[in-house]
């Protein structure tokens, strides 16, 4: 199993550009999450999904969009990039909604908006 994979690993965007961060998991997990981590800070939840076709906002959804057409994929779309979106983005998955299921994280995407 590859686990959770994210592409790209690094990206530099200009203000106003858009991009999609890709996330794929091969563990057949229903629950998937997108977090951002600003330098020296903890994780903030952007969006999450409890299954294909179902998504919901986290605490910092503004400026982002998601879709979940398959169990495996959970792409994050940045529209009109702003310097405030400079961060490391982590995708994660968990098997179910039970409290004892840990999250599996991807390696992260380091995004810089100039």
Task: Return residues touching another protein (CB under 8 A).
Answer: 31, 33, 41-43, 45, 48, 50, 56, 58, 88, 90, 92, 94, 97-105, 107-108, 110
Question: In b/e form, how buried is each residue of 7-46, taking b as 16+ CB within 10 angstroms?
Answer: eeeebebeeeeebebbbbbeeebbbbbbbbeeeeeebebb
Least CB distance to another protein at residue 18 (A): 24
Between 58 and 75, CB nearer to another protein: 58
Between 16 and 51, CB nearer to another protein: 51
Torsion of CA 39, 27, 12, 38, to 10 degrees: -10
Least CB distance to another protein at residue 114 (A): 21
Between 17 and 71, CB nearer to another protein: 71
């Amino acid at each position: 199993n590859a686990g959770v994979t994210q592409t790209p690993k690094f990206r530099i965007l200009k203000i106003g550009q858009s991009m999609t961060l890709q996330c794929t998991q091969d563990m057949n997990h229903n629950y998937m999450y997108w977090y951002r981590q600003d330098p020296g800070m903890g994780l903030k939840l952007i969006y999450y999904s409890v299954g294909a076709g179902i998504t919901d906002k986290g605490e910092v959804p503004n400026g982002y969009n998601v879709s979940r057409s398959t169990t495996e994929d959970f792409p994050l779309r940045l529209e009109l990039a702003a310097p405030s979106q400079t961060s490391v983005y982590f995708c994660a998955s968990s098997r179910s909604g039970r409290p004892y299921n840990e999250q599996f994280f991807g390696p992260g995407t380091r995004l810089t908006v100039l």
